[in-house]
């Protein structure tokens, strides 16, 4: 069962790399500069909805689409808990899947984010 979880993670990682390979990183709407992966991930950890562009210093806000995507990505980390309940997986299998999903989500998060100059409060 533990081996199965490693196969799942490996398969997802490859799929993930193919998908994000064709995607651009976050681009500032104000100065149109592409942020680096590290900058985007760092900004996404800040709890406020605004992120300051490291190039022009303008505040950027996550688009509603971006908020929805990051929410779904975070849900993915909890998916193994659901699988555990459904398939009676072992604790270590669940744990390793969660760690694997967490790393995967962290890697791909900056590729699914997009920002705009104004804040939108409508989430859906």
Interface residues with Zn ion (CB under 5 A)?
A: 28, 30-31, 53, 55-56
Sheet holding 59-62, edge to edge: 50-52, 59-62, 115-116
To Zn ion, the closest distance from the beta carbon of 22 in angstroms equals 23
Residues 6+ apart with CB under 8 A from 7: none
To Zn ion, the closest distance from the beta carbon of 54 in angstroms equals 8
For Zn ion, the closer CB: 41 or 83: 41
For Zn ion, the closer CB: 29 or 99: 29
Are 31 and 58 in contact, with CB atoms under 8 Å apart? yes
To Zn ion, the closest distance from the beta carbon of 56 in angstroms equals 3
User: Token pair 């976050």 is at which residue?
Assistant: 26
């Amino acid at each position: 069962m533990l081996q199965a979880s490693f196969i799942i993670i490996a398969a997802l990682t490859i799929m993930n790399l193919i998908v994000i390979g064709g995607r651009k990183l976050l681009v500032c709407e104000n100065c149109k500069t592409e942020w680096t992966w590290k900058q985007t991930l760092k900004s996404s950890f800040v709890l406020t909805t605004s992120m300051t562009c490291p190039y022009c210093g303008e505040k950027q806000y996550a688009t509603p689409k971006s908020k929805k995507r990051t929410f779904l990505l975070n849900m993915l980390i909890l998916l193994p808990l659901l699988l555990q309940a459904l398939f009676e997986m072992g604790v270590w299998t669940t744990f390793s899947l969660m760690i694997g999903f967490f790393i995967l989500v962290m890697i791909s998060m900056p590729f699914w984010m997009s920002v705009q100059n104004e804040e939108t409060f409508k989430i859906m």
